[in-house]
Structure formats: C-alpha cells, structure tokens
Amino acid sequence: MHITNSKFVKKHMTTLGLGLALLLAAQQVIAGTIIDVSQYGVTKNDGSDSTYQIRKILEMAKQQGATKIVFPKGKYDFYPDRAMQKNVYISNNDPGVKRIIFPLDGFENLEIDGQGSDFMFHGGVNPFVLEDGKNIKFSHFSVDFKRSFHSEASVLATGDGYLDIHIPEAFPYKINTAGILTFVGLQDSPPGKILIPKLERRIAVDNASDYQFKRLLEFDAKLRETAYMRKDIQTGNGLPAEKLPGDRNVRIFQKDLVATVGNIMTFQAKYRKYPGFVVSDSSDVVLDNITIHHAGGMGLLAQRSHNVTMQNSKVTPSEGRYVSTTADATHFVNCTGKIQLLNNLFENQKDDATNIHGIYVAVDKILDAKTIDVRLQHPQQYGFDFIDAGDTLELVHAPSMNTYSTAKVASSERISEEITRVVFQDKFDSRLQEGDSIAEVRDYAEVLIKGNTIRRNRARGMLLNSRGKTVVEDNYFHAPGSAILFEGDANFWYEQGGVSQAIIRNNVFDNSFYAQWGTGIIAVAAGIDNKYKESSRYNKNILIENNTFKVFDYAPILNLFSVDGLVFKNNVIEKNSAYPARAKYKHLFVVNHSDAVSIEKDNTFVGFEKSKEELTKFSTSL
C-alpha cells in the first residue's frame, strides 16, 4: 500500500519517534524510487534544524536504493550540532575534522532535487561531501550561509593611516581589550534549542577562527566589482581599532590603508574550511541549476574524479553582500574524463572562476634504487592521495619543469599527511634527485568551458592547466586580472599544468585586466628557473581565434612565456575609455622565451592611435 501522504505518519511522527516513522515509511514507500523529505520529519520555512533527519534519510536511501531525494520548494535550515563529523582532506582547502550536513559516501545513481528550494547553513559546516560516488546529480536549489566567513564594511572617511568604516549587522564584530578589531559568528540557534550560556560561550570561542581575516580588498559600490587598480592589503589576524560615534562605526588603523569614501571594504577569510560541494574519487557528477551564494572556500571542489559537469548554475552573492565564495567558484584537481562548465554565472568570488590542474609532489628522500619518499609541499595539499600500485608517474626536473622519464608504482604507503613512501616496479631513472617532483600520468581531462559569464571577482578568470584538449568558447569575461592564465609550478603551489592543445574562440573579453592580478588578458606562464628559460617550453599548441577584446589602454592582450606554438587570428580588438589608461603599459603583445608564436594579419584593430603594424609587434617587456 502506498502511503506517501499518510495522515497516520504525519499525526504520529512525534509519538512514534523519528526512527520508527522512517522505518515504517521505508517499508511502504521507497521501493527503490523517490523520497519526498516532507514525509520524513523535514519541515520548511520554520528555521528548524533538518540535519539529523537528512542523515537518517540518506541512510535509508542508500539501503533502499532510492534514485531521487526531493525537497518541496521552500527554505531549509541546517546546523552543526547533529552533523556527521569526519576528518577530510580537501585539496587547495584547509584539511581537518569537518561537520558534514550531507555525507554522501558510496552513493550511486542518486539525484538530490531541491525543486527551487533555498538551503541555509549555519556555523562551521560542510554542506555536501561526496566520496566514492557514481552517477550523482544535484539540481534546483541554492546554498547559502546565515553568517558568511568573510566580512564587509562601507567606507565613511579616510585619513593618514586610518579608515572610518560602518559595519552592517550581518557581520558581527568586537573590539577586544587590546584594541583589536575581530569578527565573530552569529548567536544563531534553531528555534526551541535550550541555551546553556557557559556552553554557548565556549562554542563561540572554539569557532572564533572561522571569522578571522588576513587581508582587505576594496570593492566599487556602484559597479559591484573590485575597485580599479586596488590591490590586497595584508593585515594579519586583526587590526587596531576604536569605536566611533554612531551605531557600528569603527576606525581601523594601518599605515597602508587606502580606499574611496562610499566604497565597500571586504575582509578576506583567513581559512578555506567550508567549500560548498566536495567531490572526491567519484564519477559522472552533475550540478544543474544550482546557485551557490556563499561558501567558506571553493564553491565546487572536485578531486580525483571522472566526468564532472556544472551547468545552468550560478555563483553569486546573496542580497546585501558583495562577495560570494571566499575562494574559487570551482576547482578541479587530478580529475579525468570530461570537465564541463556550461552556461554558468561566476561572479564576485574572492578568487578565480575555475582552476583546473594536477598535483606535483617533491622527492623528499631517495631510499634505494626503487624507493623514494615524496612530500606534499603546500599545507592545503596535505593528505591528498593519488599514488596507487600500478600508476605511472612522471619524473620532473623541478627547476626546468621538464619531464625526463616515467616509472611504474609497485606499492605506496602513507607515512604522514605530508609524506608518502613509493616503491617502483623497476629501478627509476638515475637522473632522479631529491628536490625533483613527480606527478601522475593519467587520462588527462578534456575541458569544455562554454556559454559562461565570468565577472566582478577578485583575481583571474580561469586557470587552465589540463593536458587534455581544452576548449573555451562563447564566454563573457570581465575579470580584474588575467581572464585566462596557463601556468604550472613545482616551487609554491605545486600545480601540474602544461597544456597540449587549447582552443579559445568566440569569447568576449570586456576590459579584463583592469587591476593587479596577472600580466595580461591572456597570460601563459610557468615556474621555470632563469637558468632554463632558453630551453624549456611548458605550454603548447594554443589557438586564439574569433574573439572580441575590449581594451582601455595598451596593457598586453597576450603575455607569453615558455610557449611552443600559439596562433592569434581573426580577432577584433576595440579600444575604449571604460577605465583610466595606465601609462606603464606600452605593448599589446609581450613574448618571452617562446617558439612558433604567430599574430596573423586578419586581426582587426578599432579605435587605436597606432598603426596595425605597430600594434602587432612583439615586445619582451610591458
């Protein structure tokens, strides 16, 4: 008998207890199909905590093989108290024990359909963590946090070494006894929670680091984008401050504080603990019609996963905020198959729209002719596992970024979160030395980035470093730094790059590179030591055609380093006066230590004072 709408279940939910109600419903409803959460104790639009019910529903769904979990349209709230706790390593974010609202471990053939719902998360939680999943879809809901992990303030006045700011109520703060401005969380609990003052104070202290900041950045209040030519102001964990007359008015002190009255000063979150969606070791994952208003880190982080698509979705601030995610909108690490970003809006995030790359690991110690210890170098890569028996690894000379050999893995053992011991099947190349790097040779992901809008964020548009075929077409870019950056390094982020085929066509680059992040609208770089710049060529085979570049001065359209093969053809370059021209830039095309670079004659230049011949000359400096 089908009793999805059973009055009995609804009426006696509290008396039977949630566990028994779920058991009764599971026996009579699931049958391997669709779960409507409203039938299992999940309520909407009342601020109540749905976390525990969701955990039980997920357990039931896995047991019964449900294919869809549906949330009737409404607002649902999730708090940390009853979230699953688990130690999670998330590349390019801060690792640690996470409180996970939707723990999706080992799920297959499941869709979570919000039907237009708003999911509101409270406190330090990780909304979605998918591990070892297959054929998973997230659709038709938004993700937001009641208290964002960054903070914002409007600029009231400026002076020598100080700013006067007004801090809205949405961003709670305090000035401590030492006269330091710090930000804190909301006093935020679900309706009906019994509050124990001493316990609440302890929790507030434990979570204080979630709202620490490390730098400031000014946003233009009218354009709702990073302010023209402003750069990050480094601050540490707090700023000297004093209260001013007026509600929530504060004066902050630091010698390099600069801003325009009326603009917005944003306080960058120190940590990346709470990305919106984490996808690990999974395949065939789709985000469709998802809106990410905020996350404490990346919006979507996919690692070691196969076939990941985000489409028809948005990363955009909620009303009243200037910043969406506190880091990249999307980020992909050591992924395979196909990465697709289709018809999305990425705006106002505090870093790039996407970064697609692999991982380099440094050779820490050579133990014998077959055995080495390798070390993850950047703290936000600690715990990242990618070396398994049977894998092939490339051996890379770190200063030149040249791959000189490969070796097949017999076994690997994690020694600590930084160190892994690797035993190869055969003796490795005798050129391998401590300080070199290794990376996985894999089915490098094919990348399709089509129909997206990228604008108003801090830093760059897209970092594209997959060795699979990469196509970027029909997108709109308005980024303050480089709209597109190809790079790779084995000396800081240890991100494996080196594109082998990239096509950039039919895009609009609308006055990108109007601020501080990058060296040109499209930049190609690599972390190569000066000694090897003449011989090393890291990125290859880049075609840039049929695009429109709107520019306001002579900053580089292309700034190339260590490229072998680039063609720039049939593009339109239009000069305008959208921003003040910068005198320091003299050349549209800067090329260094590269081969086979061609600026074709069919490119069109509109509105320039210089001749086409002058405009297309290569320079080796800005």
Q: Is the pLDDT of residue 63 over 70?
A: yes
pLDDT tier, 195 (very low <50, low <70, confident <90, very high otherwise): low
* Overall average pLDDT of the 303-319 stretch: 98
* Domains located in the chain, CATH noted: 7-148+273-347 (no CATH), 151-269 (no CATH), 361-441 (2.40.10.170), 444-615 (no CATH)
* Overall average pLDDT of the 79-85 stretch: 95
Contact yes or no for 537/595 (Cβ under 8 A):
yes
Determine what percent of the chain falls in helix, strand and coil, rounding each to the nearest 5. 10, 45, 45
Cα separation, 19 vs 4, whole angstroms: 16
> What is the Cα 373 distance to its own chain's centre?
29
**Residue 442 corresponds to which amino acid?**
R
Tell me, what's the pLDDT at 622?
A: 87
Does 203 or 220 have the greater pLDDT score?
220
- The set of residues, in sequence order, having a beta carbon less than 8 Å from that of 381 and lying 6+ positions away, is 91, 92, 359, 494
Tens of pLDDT, residues 379-430: 899 999 999 999 999 999 999 999 999 999 999 999 999 999 999 999 999 9
Angle, CA of 552, 558 and 564, to the nearest 5°: 175
Tens of pLDDT, residues 228-272: 999 999 998 789 999 999 999 999 999 999 999 999 999 999 999
Q: Is the pLDDT of residue 590 over 60?
A: yes
Tens of pLDDT, residues 331-362: 999 999 999 999 999 999 999 999 999 999 99
Mind giving me the DSSP string for 375-426? E--SGGGTT-----TT-EEEEEETTTTEEEEEEEEEEEEE-SSSEEEEEESS
Tell me, what's the pLDDT at 188?
A: 86
Q: Is the pLDDT of residue 5 over 50?
A: no
Residue tagged 């992909």 (tokens):
332
